[in-house]
Structure 1
Amino acid sequence: MNLELSLDLVQSSALAGLLLVLGESARRRIGFLQRFSIPGPVVGGFLFALLLLVLRQTHVATVEFDTTLQEPAMIAFFTTIGLTGSLALVRKGGRLLIVYLLACWTLAVMQNLVGIGLAEALHLDPLLGIMAGAVSLEGGHGAAAAFGPTAESMGADGATAVAIAAATFGLLAAGLLGGPLAGWLMKRYDVAVPAAASADPAGGTDREPEQSDAAGYRQLLPTLVLIGVIMVLGTLLSTWFSDTTGFVLPGYVGAMVVAVVFRNLNDRFGWVRLHPGSVNLVSGLTLGFFLTMAMMSLKIWDLYELALPLVVILAVQVLVLALFVSFVVVPLLGRDYDAVTMAAGMMGHGLGGTPNAMANMDAFNSRFGVRSERAFLVVPLAGAVLIDLVGLPWIVWCMNWVGGG
């Protein structure tokens, strides 16, 4: 018997909420998960994805989800990140942004070279090596779905399935390895945890003593309205930019840019007062929700059905990234708390995507109770937008190179 279940929007969202609560509870109660900074959404969502794999492989049931709310939640989260983006902080992190961006570009180049080299050594079509390189790892499922059919049209049979399966592998590895590696780097480089900032960056430095960070209805309502308006403006900006330039700008990036602009204009002119407790509350809820939904709806069987040679390629990609981050990127960034936090981020978007990077950094910082604001600005800006300035042309060039175009 193979029962086919299809969950609607409300049911899928409720399930994601339940798994998020269970994952966060498990992370707090199980020392292993807390010690290695495994994000709660990864715990709950991944375990459920494993259950779905068992049900499918035993022909008991298959489940389909309505993940409509996943993207709006992601856009809302990145909007809250933008609202913490003061120009003063960006100026302080200027060198870090340049170093981190150069590292991202270097990584994109390396991932394709590693994929092509190993594919040829294992007697596979080198186009499949690119699918298991920057396309699926730095690019994620979106790039996998976009470039897979192109590779197939160039003669690489099954390229789309390979790319999507590799992206699934990367998504899982990103959530499971980022925190443990950052923890190891803290010990290796004897990194000290800085004192928490006296002022919350979302709320300015001149907070009235009687104002509390606790978010009630009176504080939360205007914050939600502001975030909603910025989300609309950000998605319109992204659409206009993509239509005008041909360069794809994700909606969540447009929202983050608009939020950063608003934050700094608001600092200058004082239009509204940003309530830090409300911003943090929305940030935590939206991050947990969309990442849990992404994890619980993973089709792990795409990874399960990968041929052994491709598993070898992906395992080497993980090793190369871990060595690059540990012995090149972190020393260049300064071997401090910001650098180690960004290492967790690079493991996230270097294997899975920017949401993984943010979740890794959030879980890692939560372990020590201090948030690296520079990391939360540099990583999404470099890993979600600026990397494509080199990453996408490099992928196209490599495909034409090995495909004989």
Structure 2
Amino acid sequence: MNVISVNAVESAILALLMLLFGEVTKKHTPLLSKYHIPGPVIGGCIAALITTCLYRMGMEFEFELPYKETLMLMFFAGIGLSANIKQLFQGGRLFVVFLGIAVVYIIFQDAIGVAAASFLGLDPKLGLMTGSITLSGGHGTGAAWASMFHDHFGVDNALEIAMACATFGLVIGGIIGAPLGTYLVEKNQLSTPNVHATDVEHKKAHHMPSKGNVLHCIGSVVLLACCVELSQMLHSLVLVLDVHWLNMVPNFVYALFVGALFSTLFSESKPAKIAMVEVARLSSIALSVFLSMALLEIKLWQLFDMALSLVVILTIQTLFTIVFVTSVTYKLLGKNYDAAVMASGHAGFGLGATPTAMLNMNGITGYYGPSPQAYFIVPLIGAFFIDLSNLIVIETFLHFMS
């Protein structure tokens, strides 16, 4: 095998080109755009196919990606900064109920993954990769946990499994979400209680504020950089002190925590409110570049022996999601129009990601009418609180499986 080393600059250029190609392909392919398939995933899948073909021809590439981890930490710091812990009390009883439902869902999701993996003769820990790590967690969380599974559990193809499962979930979550919500609305003859909501109010739930200026952008970069540096210092301190119960916590969790702490302390200040728009944009860019770099290292040939097993497990997860959101999420949230919309959103972020959830809800509200309550609660849980809950569930499973 002829191993070809690619230096840091060349690797970064390739990752950015892959991201650009994926975004352009998505823009000009209605099917990919409709289901919110991320640009880096599109480009990454194509790059993975190319490197696989070259591997079969006797060439293997080794990429040098020194900034991959920093970009990952910037993304999770951005998630933390975008949410305020005080908002936990603003959603009222329905918010708490939905969060509890989502937590129960990911517990079952991981239990199904572990049980199915064991039944198929795979490492039970891999079941977590086909559970909430990649499905409720998405590509970013999957890629972040993959490094831990590789380093601590010796899973050589953890990244490949994570990306495959997350991509599957993203597509399926976008396919089944809106039809499930539509089924609930039609079957139960539901109607929106917000028929008099104005177009302006409806649009406010769908759009981000306008762009900030260069100063805001620079301030946001500094804020993210500070969060990254503090999270790395905190992670290093934990390792030095050898805090046993924290040793298995991945470094991105510290970035999430530091970002949330900053947000809670300074969210009421005017500069912080302005900066949040740029923080969301920059963290999204960081995630895209990080995923491009992570996918650049994918080795598809290591997955061929496990392809059938992964399809079986993910099919079971999909069927479970359909049953859960229609019989548990919808009913416990009140069996009304808002509950149907939130159930479709749950299918979106339970299998895919928060953008998928918003896509599902847009499909329903665009036809049947607005649901401001759903547009407040679903993104807040899907984009932040479920990540914290997911971490606790995953850590608990790993503790009992170790």
**Bucket of the pairwise TM-score, normalised by the shorter protein:** 0.7 to 0.9
Quick one: distance in 1 between partners of 2:392 and 2:237?
A: 18
Q: How many residues align?
A: 350
How has the CA–CA distance of structure 1 residues 198 and 178 changed in structure 2, closer, same or farther, with 3 Å as cutoff? closer
Query: What residue in structure 1 maps to residue 165 of structure 2?
Result: 173
Which whole-Å CA distance do the structure 2 matches of 1:363 and 1:45 have between them?
23
How far 1:129 sits from its partner (Å)? 4.4
Instruction: Specify the alignment match of 1:123 in structure 2.
Output: none
Report the TM-score when normalising by structure 2: 0.76
Quote the offset at 1:270 in angstroms.
5.6
Q: 1:347 aligns with which of 346, 351, 362?
A: 351
CA 29–77 in structure 1, closer or farther in 2 if over 3 Å, else same = same
1:56 touches 1:62 (CA, 8 Å); kept in 2? yes
Stretches of structure 1 that go unaligned for 5 or more consecutive residues are: 120-127, 150-159, 202-211, 349-356, 397-405
User: Which stretch of structure 1 is more off in the superposition, 331-340 or 4-13?
Assistant: 331-340
Cα offset, 1:54, TM superposition: 0.5
Aligned to 1:155: none
Whether 1:70 and 2:68 are equivalent positions in the alignment is: yes
Partner of 1:400: none
Question: Could you say if the C-alpha distance between residues 68 and 222 of structure 1 is closer, same or farther in structure 2, counting changes exceeding 3 Å?
Answer: same
Letter in 2 for 1:280: A
Please give the per-residue CA displacement for 1:238-268, whole angstroms capped at 9, x wherever unaligned: 3445632432222222112221121122134
Instruction: Tell me the residue number matched to 2:392.
Output: 386
Equivalent position SS for 2:267: helix
Residues 28 and 337 (structure 1), Cα distance of their counterparts in 2 relative to 1, 3 Å cut: farther
Corresponding residue SS for 1:246 = helix
1:46 equivalent in structure 2 = 45
Residue of structure 2 in register with 1:323 after alignment: 319
Is the 2:227–2:255 contact (alpha carbons within 8 Å) kept by the matching residues of 1? yes
Indicate the residue corresponding to 1:281 in structure 2: 281
The answer as to whether partners of 2:344 and 2:361 remain within 8 angstroms in 1 is no
1:41-120 superposed matches below 5 A: 41-59=40-58, 61-91=59-89, 92=91, 93-119=95-121
**Scaled by the length of structure 1, what TM-score is found?**
0.75
CA-to-partner distance for each residue in 1:81-139, whole Å, 9 max, x for gaps? 111212343332333322212222222222222222233xxxxxxxx342542267556
Match of 2:291 in 1: 291
Cα separation, partners in 2 of 1:42 and 1:9, compared to 1, 3 Å = same
Within-5 A mapping of 1:300-379: 300-304=300-304, 306=305, 310-329=306-325, 331-334=327-330, 335-348=339-352, 357=353, 372-379=379-386
Partner of 1:144: 149
- Name the CA distance, whole Å, in 1 between partners of 2:326 and 2:161: 24
> Shift in Å at residue 284 of structure 1?
2.1
Instruction: Name which of structure 1's ranges 224-233 and 109-118 shifts more when overlaid on structure 2.
Output: 109-118
Tell which deviates more after alignment, 140-149 or 181-190: 140-149
Give the C-alpha shift of residue 303 in structure 1. 0.7
Which secondary structure state, in structure 2, belongs to the residue aligned with residue 106 of structure 1?
helix
Structure 2 alignment gaps of length 5 or more: 134-144, 186-191, 195-200, 331-338, 367-374
Distance 1:237 1:364, change over 3 A: farther
Do the aligned partners of residues 26 and 199 (structure 1) sit closer, same or farther apart at CA in structure 2, a change above 3 Å counting?
closer
Counterpart CA distance in 1 for 2:70 and 2:300 is: 24
Shift in alpha-carbon separation, 1:341–1:297, aligned structure 2, 3 A: farther
Q: Quote how far apart the aligned CAs of 1:339 are.
A: 4.3
The verdict on how the C-alpha distance between 1:279 and 1:331 changes in structure 2, with shifts beyond 3 A counting, is: farther
Distance 1:330 1:168, change over 3 A: farther
Structure 1 position 65, deviation (Å): 0.7
Alpha-carbon distance, 1:234 to partner: 2.2
CA distance in 1, matches of 2:326, 2:41: 25
Q: Does the CA-based 8 Å contact 2:125-2:398 persist in structure 1?
A: no
Query: Structure 1's 5 and 38: CA in aligned 2 closer, same or farther, altered over 3 A?
Result: same
Partner of 2:180: 188
Contact 2:112 2:131 in 1 (8 A): no
Q: Deviations over 1:3-48 (max 9, x none)?
A: 5422111111111111111111111110111122211110011110
Closer/same/farther in 2, CA of residues 41 and 381 from structure 1, 3 Å limit: same
Percent identity between matched residues is: 20
- Do the aligned partners of residues 67 and 337 (structure 1) sit closer, same or farther apart at CA in structure 2, a change above 3 Å counting? farther
Residue 124 of structure 1 corresponds to none
Distance 2:229 2:173 in 1: 37
Distance 1:83 1:148, change over 3 A: closer
- The structure-2 alpha-carbon separation of the partners of 1:253 and 1:129, relative to structure 1 and needing over 3 Å to count, comes to closer
CA RMSD of aligned residues (A): 3.3
Other-structure match for 1:133: 127
The 1:252–1:183 alpha-carbon spacing in structure 2 relative to 1, beyond 3 Å, is same
